[in-house]
Amino acid sequence: MTSTFEKSMTYLVLAVASVMALYPLGIILATALQPDQIGASGGLHFENFSAAWERGSFSTYLTNSVIVSVSVVVLSTVLSCLAGYAFGTMRFRGSSLLFYLLLLGLMVPSEAVVIPLYYDLRSLHLTDSYVALIFPQVAQSLAFGTFWMRAYFRSSSRQIVEAARLDGAGHGRILWSVLLPMGRPAVFTMVLLVFMWTWNEFLLPLVMISDESLRTAPLGLSNFQGQYTSGTSLLAAAAVLVALPVLVVFLLTQRQFIRGMVEGSVKG
Amino acid sequence: MSGRALSDVPAEQRDGSTEPSPRRPKQPMAQPARGRAPGEPRGVAYLYIAPAFVVFAGFMAWPLMRALWLSLYEWDGLSVGTFVGLDNYREVFTQPELREPFLHSLVLLIFFSVLPILLGLALAGLMTRAKVRGAGFFRTVIFIPQVITMVVVAISWRQIYAPNGQLNDALRAVGLGSWAHAWLGDSTYALAAVGLVGTWVGTGLCMVLFMAGLSKVPRELYEAAALDGAGGVRQFFAVGLPALRGELAVAITLTVVAALRTFDLVYVMTTGGPGTATRVPSYEVWRWSLDAGRVGDGVTIAIVLTVIIMTLTIGVNQIAERDPT
C-alpha cells in the first residue's frame, strides 16, 4: 500500500528521532568514560565510576534510594491491594465518596503538600528521616495504586470469586489465594511504575533532607553538580549510576512497562 | 447470575427442604447470613481500606488542609504568623513578581504539550501506516527519555547548552558560529531552552499513547478511505485522528500537568535565572516557602497550581467523554 520511497522516508524519520532521543544520554556516557584529569591517557576510563561510587559518596546515596524505593513499593503495593480489593469487590456505605477522595488525591501535585508536611514534620523532629522520605510517597502512590488495583479487581471474574466462596473461602483467602495470583501482571505493572516514580523523585528529598547521609541518589547528584562545574567526567559517571537502575528495569520489562504507562494513564 | 443462584438457597430452606442436597454439600456455608447481599461482606471492607486511608489522611489530606490554612497567613516559617485572609491570593493575581511564573508556564506549554503531541502524532501515524519492521525497537528507544531521572536529564542538557557545549559546537561546525549563545545564561533563550528539554522528554510518551490508540483502528477503514482516493495524510486526519479522542485527552492532561509542575529541570539547569527568566510556579513554591521565608506566598502559589491542575484534568476529560455529534 505504501511506496518504497515513503517507507524509506519513514525509516529515516524514525532513525533521526531515535538518535535525538539517545544523543543526550550518549553524551553523558561518553563524558563519564573520559579521563578526569587533563593530560591523562586516552582510552575508556571506567575508574570514574568507582571514584563517583566512593569519593562522591554515591554508595550512600544509592543505598538510600534503594531503601526508600523498596519501602515505598512494598508499602504502597500492600495498601493498594487491600484497598483496591474492598473498592473493587465489596459494597459498603460511603464507598464512592471515599473513592472520589482518593481520585482527588491522584490530582494533587506534591508541591501542594510538601511544604506543610515539612513544617509539621519539623515540629515532630521527623525531617531528616526515612519516615519523611517514605510515607508522603506511599500516600501519593497508593492513590494511583488503589485506583489501578480496583480496576483489576472489578474486571476479575465474578464466577471464580463465587466458586471460591462456595468452596468456603473467606474474603481474605479469596484475595490472597485466588485474585492476587491471577492478578500478578497488574501488580507487577504497578510495582514498576511506583518504583520509577520513587527512584526519580527529587522535590521531596530536597525539601525534607539536609543530612548528607540521608540524601537519595537524585538529590546527591544535584548537590554534586553544584560543587563541580558541569561536563566533568566524575559528575557524568555519577549521573550514569543514578539513571541506570530505572533504565535497566525499563529495558528488561519494556513491553509491560510501556503498556502499564499507557493503560495507567488512560485509566488515570 | 451466580449471585442469584446463591440467594435461592435460603428460599429453598424456607420451603422446608432443610436438608441440603448431597450434590451441593457446601452451599449452606455460603448462605448469606443476617440478610446480607450475597457475596458482599460489607463491614470488613472498612478494615481493608483503613491502612491506606490512615496513610492517605496523614500524608495527603491533612497536609492539603494545612496548605489551605497556611495560605491565609503571612508566615516566615519561624515566628508567629499573621492572618491576612485572602490577601495572598489577591497578590498572586496582581503582583507581577508572583504572576510572572504562571505566564512562563504558558510558554512552557508550547514545548511540553503542543510540540510533543504534534511530534507524537506524526511519529505514531508514520509507524502505523508504514508497518515498519522493528517498530518495537523504535518505540522503546524513543520512549527512553521518559524514564530517565530528571536531574540526570538536566545535567546532560546543561552540558549541551553550555557556551562550549555540543549545540554551539554544532552551530560553529556548519558555519553558524554567530548564532552561538550561552543558551541558559541569556534571558531571551533560557525559558525556551528549558522547554525544549520538555519536548525531548514528552515526545516518546505521546507517541506511545497514540500508537496504542491507532492500533485499535481496523485497517479496513484506512483501505476504505484509500479507495475513496484519500492520500496518506488525508487518511490520517479522516480515520486515525478521530479515533484518538481519548488518547489526545490523556496526552493533553499529562503533558500540561508536566509543564505546570516543571521543577527539577529549572532547579538544576537555571535556578530560575537568569534574573527571573525561568521562574516557574513549582520552583516559586519552593523558593518562597523555604528559601525566601514567605511561606504564605509559596503555599498560595501551590494551591492555585493545584486548582488549575484539577480544573484542567477534570475539564479535559469531560470534553473528551462527551460524544462527538
Residues 6+ apart with CB under 8 A from B194: B108, B111, B184, B262, B265, B266, B269, B270, B278
- The residue in chain B having the minimum alpha-carbon distance to the alpha carbon of residue A79 is B52
Q: Which has more pLDDT, B32 or B78? A: B78
Q: With an 8 Å Cβ cutoff, are A109 and B282 in contact? A: yes
Residue B151 has a pLDDT of 96
**Nine-digit cell string for A105:** 488525591
Residue B67: which of A7, A14, A115 has the nearest Cβ? A115
Query: Chain B 108-167, CB below 8 Å of chain A: which residues?
Result: 119, 122-123, 126-127, 129-132, 136, 138-153, 155-160, 162, 165-166
B149 vs B151: CA distance, rounded Å: 6
- Do B106 and A212 meet the contact criterion of CB atoms below 8 Å apart? no
On the question of pLDDT at B236 being above 80, the answer is yes
CA-angle at A259, arms to A254 and A260, nearest 5°? 95
Q: Which has more pLDDT, B129 or B88? A: B88
Burial of A257 (0-12, 13-18, 19+ CB in 10 A): buried
On the question of pLDDT at B131 being above 50, the answer is yes
Average model confidence (pLDDT) for chain B? 85
Q: Which of A60, A67, A73 is nearest to A221 (CA)?
A: A60
B279 vs B267: CA distance, rounded Å: 9
On the question of pLDDT at B225 being above 70, the answer is yes
Residue A265 has a pLDDT of 74
CA-angle at A95, arms to A92 and A96, nearest 5°? 140
Residue B278 has a pLDDT of 94
For chain B, say whether A129 makes contact (Cβ under 8 Å).
no
pLDDT band at B261 (very low <50, low <70, confident <90, very high): very high
- Do B49 and A90 meet the contact criterion of CB atoms below 8 Å apart? no
Q: Which has more pLDDT, B11 or A223? A: A223
Residue B201 has a pLDDT of 96
- Do B20 and B31 meet the contact criterion of CB atoms below 8 Å apart? no
Residue B170 has a pLDDT of 93
| Residue tagged 528521616 (cell numbers) | A129
Q: Which of A41, A27, A120 is nearest to B170 (CA)?
A: A27
Burial of B178 (0-12, 13-18, 19+ CB in 10 A): exposed
- Do A216 and A209 meet the contact criterion of CB atoms below 8 Å apart? yes
pLDDT band at B6 (very low <50, low <70, confident <90, very high): very low
Rounded to 10°, the helix B135-143/A254-267 angle is 70
Neighbouring CB atoms inside 10 A of B17's CB total: 10
Residues of A in contact with B127 (CB under 8 A): 10, 14
Residue B324 has a pLDDT of 56
For chain B, say whether A59 makes contact (Cβ under 8 Å).
no
Contact pairs from chain A to chain B, CB under 8 Å: 305
Q: Which has more pLDDT, A75 or B30? A: A75
Cis peptide before B41 (omega within 30 of 0): no
Burial of A165 (0-12, 13-18, 19+ CB in 10 A): buried
- Averaged pLDDT for residues B31-36: 41
**Nine-digit cell string for A34:** 573520559
> Where on the phi/psi map is residue B266: left (φ > 0), alpha (ψ -120 to 50), or beta?
alpha
For chain A, say whether B289 makes contact (Cβ under 8 Å).
yes
B149 vs A172: CA distance, rounded Å: 38
On the question of pLDDT at B5 being above 50, the answer is no
From B178's Cα to the closest Cα of chain A, the distance in A is 23
Using 50 as the pLDDT threshold, list the residues of chain A that sit under it.
1
For chain A, say whether B29 makes contact (Cβ under 8 Å).
yes
- Averaged pLDDT for residues B266-276: 92
Q: Which of B174, B257, B265, B134 is nearest to A24 (CA)?
A: B265
Residue A106 has a pLDDT of 87
B200 vs B160: CA distance, rounded Å: 13
From B174's Cα to the closest Cα of chain A, the distance in A is 18
Residues of B in contact with A102 (CB under 8 A): 56
On the question of pLDDT at B30 being above 90, the answer is no
On the question of pLDDT at B257 being above 90, the answer is yes
Residue B141 has a pLDDT of 96
- Averaged pLDDT for residues B179-203: 94
Query: Chain B 207-266, CB below 8 Å of chain A: which residues?
Result: 208-209, 212, 223, 226, 232, 246-247, 250, 254, 257, 260-261, 263-264
> Where on the phi/psi map is residue A267: left (φ > 0), alpha (ψ -120 to 50), or beta?
alpha
On the question of pLDDT at B1 being above 70, the answer is no
Residue A108: which of B60, B132, B145 has the nearest Cβ? B60
- Averaged pLDDT for residues B107-118: 97
Task: State percent of chain B over pLDDT 70.
Answer: 86
The structure's pTM equals 0.88
Cα-based torsion angle of the residue sequence B51, B56, B58, B63 in order, rounded to the nearest 10 degrees: 180
Residue pLDDT, tens place only, B55-105? 999 999 999 999 999 999 999 888 888 899 899 999 999 999 899 999 999
Q: Which of B306, B268, B299 is nearest to B284 (CA)?
A: B299
- The residue in chain A having the minimum alpha-carbon distance to the alpha carbon of residue B29 is A168
- Averaged pLDDT for residues B241-258: 91
- Do B93 and B300 meet the contact criterion of CB atoms below 8 Å apart? no
- Averaged pLDDT for residues B206-228: 88
Residue B238 has a pLDDT of 84
Q: With an 8 Å Cβ cutoff, are A166 and B59 in contact? A: no
